[in-house]
Structure formats: C-alpha cells, structure tokens
Structure 1
Amino acid sequence: MKPFNRTVGGSAVTLLSVAALLLSGCTRTTGPVTAVGTVSDPTRTIVVPALTGPTVNLDAGFAPAPGTSGQTASTVAATYQAGASQRIAQLKVTEGTPVTVGQELATLDTTALKAQVAVTKADRKVAIAQVGVLDDAIDKTYTAEQTLEANRAKVTLAIDTLTSTVSDLQKAKPQLIRTRADLAAKLSQAEYLLAHYPPVPPPGTPTKPELQANIAQLKATIAGLDAKLAEVNAALPKLTSGLKQARAGLAKLNQAFATLADARSQLRGLRDLAQIAAQSADIPVSVAEAQLSQATLTSPVAGVVTWTAGVGDHVITGAPVATIRETGPAKLTAWLSPSALSQVCVGDAATITGDWMAPGQTMSASLTWISATADFPPSSTTTDETHLTRAVRVELLASGELPAGVPVEINIPGCHPTAGQSEQDR
C-alpha cells in the first residue's frame, strides 16, 4: 500500500469524479475493495452537575427569641451555587470496572444538601400544622372571651408562618426560573444538534435516538417546572393579600376583646390562607430534593470505566468525574478513493483482519455509511493509488468488539444490486 499524495493538481477532476460516482449509484458487480481503517473510540464523560438550591429558613417558621435577630437564611446554600466546587465523597467504580446504564458511579458531598432538605421539610411541617392550629382557634372563639389573648398569639404565629412561606416561595421562584432557563437552553442545543446532526458525529456525540429521548425528557421536565411556577405565581398574591388581611385582623383583636365575631371571621380567612401556604410548602422541598438527587452521578451508557477522579477531590461544575468507553460492536472509519467508491454500496458485507490478530482470525462487518463529500484524508491513510488529493470517508459496523484505535485491513467484496450508494440513499 502507498500513502495518499496530497498534490494540488487534479483536485477539480477528482471532485467531479466523486460527484459522478455518488449520482450513479451501484449498478454492477465488481471486484473486492481493500482499505485500511481505524477502530473508533466511543467514550462518554461524566461531569459535575450545577448544584443550586433555594436559601432556606433555619427558624422553620418560628419567631426569633426576644432580643435576637434570628437566622432567617441558611449559610450552607451559599456554598452550593453554580460554579462552586464540589467534593467527591464516594467513588463506586474504578478504572476497568464494567458498568450498565443507570449504575451509580460517584456521590458528591451531600451534607449541605441534606441539611437543606431537612430545613425545608421542617418549614412544610410547620405550615401544615398551622392549619389545625387555626381550626382550634376558631372553635375557641365560641367558648369565652378569655381565650382571645391566646387566639391573638396564634394569629401572630400564623402571620410569622405565612411570612416565612412567602419568603421561601420568593426565594424558590428565581431558582425555578433559572432551572427552567438552563433546561430550555439544553433543549435548544439538543434540538439544534438533532436538526443539524453531523454526517460523521465526533466521538462521544449522542446518537439521534438518544437526542430524541433527551429532548422528550427535557420537555417533560420544563412542563413540570412551568406547573410549579404557575402554582407559585398563583399563591404569592393570595398569600401577600392574606398577610395584609391577617395583620388587619390582629389589630382588631388588640383593639377590642368583645369583637369575637369579627375575630372568628378573620381566623377563618386566615385558615384558608394557611391551607394555601401548606400546599405551596411542597415546592421548596421538591427543589431541595431534586438538588440532592443530582449529587449521585450515574452512567448514561453501558461500557467500561477508563478514568476516574479521586475521592476527596474538589471539582467545579462541568469538570469530569469519570470517563466510560462504550461497549458493543466496534465502529470503524476508512477512506476510499473515487475509483474504489464506485465498487461499494451501503449495506455491503466486509471482512476485517489485522496484523495484531491471531493467524487466520477475521471478523465480519457491514458498510453502514458513505459520505456525500470528498475531503483530505488523514496523512496516515494508505491506498494502492497515487496522486489523489481527495478521498471519501466511510463507516462500518463490526460484528463484535475490537480494541479502540487499532488499525485494521478491510476487504469489501463489492456492490450488491439493491444497495444504496450514499447517505442520501439510506
């Protein structure tokens, strides 16, 4: 075999001959074609997700003690914002470990995320309990005027709870909007890649079915976020209006012990608002739990782990944690001259051999793709022809696994009458 000679002369003639061959298709049976190809190396990189979350209320809805300012915002959430480094707490695989789709690979430090979940659940518990508290308060207005002072304290607690809930929702809303924007950007990228899918996707590029599945999942997630945002947008005005009404009711309770009927009406309205607050309290919990689930990294493909970061390493958002080489039938790439291109068709059977194989060992393959354009082949590509400035890239799928990156010799017997010629004919 001789290397391609990248001379300038004759390039126009070569391009015309390639175009003519692509248009003519396979119409005859010819002799075998021999080419040197390379086994592709399909790898997938697992990266650190962007872990963000709402700032949570550490008072869990309770008013601060007299003489103290209270801690109304968690300081741990600030260390889990986009762009911050994450610590790898556990690695469940090592180099050479075979993995399946969905298998856990690593876990990031979840201390702050778990605390965040616990605090939002405490807030939710208080909000739900407040509904029953207000029910009791309404009943007690019928018993005696001496219960008015106790009811006034309960109204104050309810106002604090509503204020805490409004604060949580106001903090959760921007996070939901940012998350939706990130997902919308990913959806746009995925749809653009699907619409402009390259004829020869680079190693690691998702397949079209994978892209379609990702697009469907992203659309479903965005729809869920839109529903949550609608709930927040509907709840906030009601809660804000209710807080104003509740404060007005508290003022009336302070002004007159005899206005039990008015106090009862205010408590009933407050109970309805507390019910809204209790229902809306699930949103901060859902956001915190979603962030916690992302701290466990799983494999999107079946394959073999080729590299991992170390336990205890601090890695930033988007940094690699592990790489996986996909398993399955090997994909091969080769370059054919225009004259050889006229003798092969998509779907042709092929035989693979290599000087690294055992004597007499071969592997079957099939020609799966032929480029519609000619280009400069790599300098390492060899052929039995000289003075070629262009060649056409083809891809084959082997019947079994082969070592990534190794050279192989490919023998294609020739066209069969019903085969297609290029990617437009597939």
Structure 2
Amino acid sequence: MLTTRPRGTNDILPGEVEKWQYLEELARQVCREYGYSEIRTPIFEHTELFARGVGETTDIVEKEMYTFTDRGDRSITLRPEGTAAVVRAYLENKLYALPQPIKLFYIGPMFRYDRPQAGRFRQFHQFGVEVFGSNSPAIDAEVIAMAMDIYHRIGLTNLELHINSVGCPQCRPVLRQKLQEYFRPQLAELCPNCQGRFDRNPLRILDCKSEKCQEIGRHAPTTLDVLCPECQAHFELVKGYLDAVGVKYIVDNRLVRGLDYYTNTAFEIMTRDIGAQSSIGGGGRYNGLIEACGGSAAPGIGFALGLERILLTAERQGITFPISRGPAVFVATVGAGAETESFALVQKLRRHGIAADKDYLGRSLKAQMKYAGKLDARLVIILGEEELSRGVAVVRNMQAGSQEEVPLADIISYVKEVQ
C-alpha cells in the first residue's frame, strides 16, 4: 500500500526527532572529548564483505541480510552492521598509513530481516566506534568506558556491563575441540542451525536463542576455561583498567557475542527495562578482521549502540531530554499593511541566529497568539500598521505573561537579551 510503511520500519516525526538529534549530538560531543573522528560509509556494500567480515555462520549472514542483485549482476547487501564497512573504508582509503591508532565513529541506519518487536526493527540505527592499530588493553577499557559514559550522560540506570574474553587463534582451536566433544553425544537434539554450526563453528552454539540448545549447552566448556597465557594476561589488564576508573562489570563466561570476528575482549550492556531483548549495546576486539577483509594483520576494537533501544530504555525509565521544539520568536501580524515588514523582520531575526517564524494562513491576531502558544514560542512580536507608524513593536513574553513596547531599531538586541 502506498500509504503504509514497510513492516519493521518507522517514521521519526517532529516532536520525536528532536530526541534523536539530542542523542546524536551527545554522542558526537563524547567522541570529540575522546578523540574520535566521524566516518560515513555507503548504506550498501558488496555482499562478500559481510560474508567474510561478519561470518558465514552468523544468524546475520545466514538469515537476516537484505541482499539483491543489481543491474550489473553484482550481489549487493544493505549493511546489517557498521564494523565491516568501516574496515573496508580503512583499507581502501589507506588509513593505515596515518599515525596510529585510528579512532573513528559512525551514526546511521542498518538493515536486518528480523522479527519486529520492542526495540528491534528491520531498519534500525546504530552509533558505533572503531579503533584500529592498537592491541593495548587500555584501549579495550577506553572503548568500554566510553560506551558506559554515554549511557550515564543520558541518565540511564539499572545497566549491567557483561565482559568476557573469547580467546585468540591460538586458544580457540582448543575450545573448538572441547565443544565438539561436549555436544557430539547430543548433536541430534540441537536445532538445525546448531547442527550445521557443529563442524563450522561450534562456538556459535553457545549464542543460540533456542531454549533447547541453551539447556543442552548449560554446562558446556567456555572460553575462560581454555585461554592461553597471553589472552588471560590481556583480560586481567582490561579488568584492572576498568577497576581503576570505577567501571563496574560482571564477568560472563558464556558471552560470545553474535559475530564471528571477535577475539579477546567481548562485552555487552544489558538492561531489564526493555523486555526480553535486554541488550542495548556491545562490542569487542577483532584482531583478525582486517586481515580477513584483505588487509595486512592489524588489531581492532569497537562497539555499536542501538539508538532505538536507548530511546526505549530512556522512555521506560522516565528520562526526559532537554530539548526545545518551537521558535524563540513568533512574529504576529495585524493588518495587511504590516505583512511585508513582518516577513522582513522574521528574516532579519534568522540572520542574527534567532529562531523565528510567522503566520502564513491569514489568521486573526487571537488565532496567531494561540498558534504561537502551540509552537511553544517564548516571545511574540506583534507588528501592525499602527506600531509601524511609531517605529515600535509590542513584545509579549509568553512564559511571564507580560508585554512591552520596544523600538524596532532595538528589537534584535532586545530579543537576544531576554530570549
């Protein structure tokens, strides 16, 4: 239907979009303070990028991507997440030649064919950061602390930070073997997806949402059981840095995240305020991803925060954002002879950086005042032929309920002083 949006998408209307703008500007401010620069990548990429970067055994690649063939017979996919695209941009634009580490952030829409529910949509929006070129545990801690800093500045409470280490290419094969030994006797009872993952990537079984698979895997070996000394030392240092800055966390040895590219540190931020889909953000280290995408081996780490989930959590926690929708000034016109002057005054106010508007429907003064109230204008400048003849305007303070005459020559300075 032409008048119905596709399932799993949303229109963000005036009155709501201001919350998004506030949230996005807050994220950008935090990035400026932490030294991260914005990057903008295409909304669609070659499908192979996500197959190689996200992982062929993930739910995203297997079931959730919006993929199509373009007119050049190329397989194209709407981006389901941001990291792989930023890695591609890092390689294609030779950002590795710049002083390292490279600290980047992005804000934008992602696309997954998923079952829509509270806080989960088929077109959704993420704010994310990526750091390339450093394997320091301090960068891991900075990225985690940055995510928690953003949540705290928004005012969110009742959050749990879960962290884990998922190992490296040296210790992961040991876990792979132990998991296969554990699941093999019960392989027939696993869901079809997990049966397929048994040979390809048994670690993915631990991330299955099926209650049956979760029950079977309840006592399965975990990553912390098999960490090599280097991974164990890295994880201990990450925890030490978080302790040093007062970031509270829960060590969750079953946390593996939903993407194949993670190594070492993985983390997720949870809340009980949005129902079953309790994660509102997470990330981790991915030291093998750049190489998997065709570049020279280089370390990386990042996170992504779901904007819809943040806003839903804020709403359910009763958090209001300090936003103002309406113009600072509304110019009300009395009589046709004042129309041109009122139009010119509105433009003059705007040129001086003052948000201003006027009536364009020929309303009566009473109706214009009522309209200005609905717009939440703080000041109303009343301009009529009689006022023009005397070189003045009547300025009404809508909050105080007071008004006074102001010379037109002084109107800009007056508004700047009192608005």
TM-score interval, normalised by the smaller of the two chains: under 0.3
Name which one, 1 or 2, has greater alpha-carbon Rg. 1
Task: Identify the structure with bigger relative contact order (alpha carbons < 8 Å, sequence gap 6+).
Answer: 1
TM-score of the superposition, structure 2-length normalised? Answer: 0.23
TM-score of the superposition, structure 1-length normalised? Answer: 0.22
